[in-house]
Amino acid sequence: MQRGTSPSSRRPPLARAHRFATRCVATYLAIGALPASAQEANYQDIIVGGRAAAYGGAFTAVADDASAALHNPAGLAQLHDHSLSASISAYGIATTTTENVFVDSQEPTELSRTDVQIFPGATGYVFPLKGGNDWSHTLAATILVIDFLEFEGAVDLSSPDLGLTTNVFDKSAITTLYAGPSYGFRWRNLFVGASAFLQYTQLETRNFLSFTADIDGAISRFASFETLDAHIFGLVGVVGAMYQLDRWKLGVSAELPNIRLGGSATSFVANAESLVIPDPTNPEASLYQDIFPEVSGRAAYKTPAKLSIGTSVSLGRFMIAGDVDMHFPVGAYNRIRLNEPESQVGQPGELPGLEEDREVDNRSIDPGREFTVNASLGGRAPIVGDYSILMGVFTDFSGLPTDFEALSEGAAVDFLGGSVAVARTRPDSEFLLGITGRYGWGATNGVTFTDRTDIKVDVREWSMSLFIAGQAKLGG
């Protein structure tokens, strides 16, 4: 906005303040907290299973513990003993840095944040069935935690040279569980298997925004409080096959798109805004407050199809494995449609335009995901006695589109990662302790007063996590 214009032409429209406030929240959520649309822009943020995590996810042609139910259920037919396995991951630290958040500012406005998380991993019971010399088959029951992320914090997104004071408080959480039976069958050197999981996803957000802007002496203040709770149920299927030739194994696994069984969502919104134009000849002011009561609606959570191809080779106590994962496009991960809300409290504005853009958008559809290919390479080597070292490297490229609309919903960050673990393996048990880390770079939208769409800013992120896993053979 240029200085020296007439009072009527320099009045900041309400929609403009709304846009800026909304972008402040979107930027804050996109760079670290979990937004309401449950950003699943990356696929390797949690690697399910202790051994799989130690190998960097290169597990399709290994699949030798209960987490094979997800990675490749055909591998269950390799297991001939009753066993119970569990893994727990402690998400130690994650740091995200966004540079030049305020695109219009002449001063650097780098924003950094650090999160600490703890979440469980997987639990499974393997139940071998009777077989013959050339064939065997195995059942398994598993509970897998695909996502278990929670954040609560506050941040100051202010820019003095732009006359902006913005404070945001956010509490966000997503939990996705898979639970169900799996079956693996072996005929000589050929293994096949399938899993059927009941999927449960819970989304929760609590956002509060306080925003003040001084534009050429016109003061705009805006405050908003929003909540969203969603519960979604679905079915997920996984099928796989494996072929063993001497020391080599070749594996292929497909995770099918989920089928929605049902889902519900509730939301509450309260907004308040004031606008004051201190014109000596024609002072004007306006104030409104809207409260939209809790409304309910439908929710859906769509996961894309995934095809994994892997190979492994064993050389005595040494083993090397590699995977290629293909994640297929999906139109939208998350869809929420609420019933039409009606404001219980409302005061119309005195200035033209204040009645506009005061409705609550009762639909939330995230931008979906593009076709993405990731790769991983892992291995195992003996150390001394019962101890061995497991290592892996992997890519975790973002599936989020990089256009303006998509980056308004989240950050597209590509990661490179690595893991290392030490395992103690005995005839009847194994204990594993490891660490994994990722470093990524990418982009999200910055915040601007204008209608520009070329407002990408750089994002850098790194994380370290500790994981513990164990399994024990049981009698039977």
Q: So where are the chain's domains? A: 14-473
Task: Identify which of 397, 408, 414, 439 has the alpha carbon closest to the alpha carbon of residue 30.
Answer: 408
More confident residue, 454 or 474: 474
pTM, rounded to two decimals: 0.86
Q: Which CATH class is domain 14-473?
A: mainly beta
- The per-residue pLDDT for 86 is 84
More confident residue, 340 or 13: 340
Tokens of 306: 């995934």
Exposed, middle or buried, 145 (CB in 10 Å: 0-12/13-18/19+)? Answer: buried
Q: What percent of the chain has pLDDT over 70?
A: 76
Q: Is 57 a residue whose pLDDT tops 90?
A: yes
Reported confidence tier of residue 405, pLDDT bands at 50, 70, 90: confident
pLDDT tens digits for 181-194? 999 999 999 999 99
Q: Is 36 a residue whose pLDDT tops 50?
A: no
- The per-residue pLDDT for 170 is 76
In 160-305 the beta strands, taken as DSSP E runs, fall at 164-187, 190-215, 218-245, 248-255, 259-277, 284-301
Span of 172-176, 271-275, 276-280 with lowest mean pLDDT: 276-280
More confident residue, 218 or 87: 87
Reported confidence tier of residue 357, pLDDT bands at 50, 70, 90: low
Maximum separation of any 2 CA atoms in the chain, in Å: 98
- The per-residue pLDDT for 108 is 65
CA distance 179 to 143: 4
- The per-residue pLDDT for 404 is 75
- The per-residue pLDDT for 343 is 63
Reported confidence tier of residue 60, pLDDT bands at 50, 70, 90: very high
Span of 146-155, 225-234, 254-263, 370-379 with lowest mean pLDDT: 146-155
CA distance 48 to 65: 11
Contact (Cβ atoms closer than 8 angstroms) between residue 67 and residue 124 = yes
- The per-residue pLDDT for 12 is 42
- The per-residue pLDDT for 342 is 67
Reported confidence tier of residue 353, pLDDT bands at 50, 70, 90: very low
- The per-residue pLDDT for 197 is 98
More confident residue, 156 or 28: 156
Cα–Cα–Cα angle for 471, 474, 476, nearest 5°? Answer: 150
Mean pLDDT across the stretch 86-99?
71
CA distance 320 to 327: 23
Span of 196-210, 345-359, 403-417 with lowest mean pLDDT: 345-359
Q: Residue-wise over 207-241: b if at least 16 C-beta within 10 A, else e? A: bbbebbbebeebbbbbbbbbbbbbbbbbebbbbbb
CA distance 180 to 238: 11
CA distance 156 to 409: 20
Q: Is 120 a residue whose pLDDT tops 90?
A: no
- The per-residue pLDDT for 14 is 47
CA distance 325 to 410: 23
Mean pLDDT across the stretch 199-203?
92
If you ran DSSP here, which 8-state letter would residue 33 be given?
S
CA distance 283 to 429: 79
More confident residue, 138 or 334: 138
- The per-residue pLDDT for 92 is 63
- The per-residue pLDDT for 59 is 97
- The per-residue pLDDT for 326 is 97
- Residue 14, classed as helix, strand or coil, is helix
CA distance 271 to 83: 55
Q: Is 426 a residue whose pLDDT tops 70?
A: yes
Span of 40-44, 227-231, 324-328, 371-375 with lowest mean pLDDT: 40-44
Using CA atoms, how far residue 376 sits from 25, 122, 270, 337, 354, in Å, is 35, 20, 46, 38, 54
What is the average pLDDT value for the chain, to the nearest integer? 81
Contact (Cβ atoms closer than 8 angstroms) between residue 372 and residue 421 = no
- The per-residue pLDDT for 37 is 36
- Residue 15, classed as helix, strand or coil, is helix
Q: Is 7 a residue whose pLDDT tops 70?
A: no
Determine which helix (DSSP H) or strand (DSSP E) holds 318, and give its type and residue range.
strand 318-327
- Residue 28, classed as helix, strand or coil, is helix
Using CA atoms, how far residue 284 sits from 163, 218, 277, 288, in Å, is 20, 10, 5, 14
- The per-residue pLDDT for 374 is 96
Give the best-scoring range by mean pLDDT among 104-108, 334-338, 385-389: 385-389
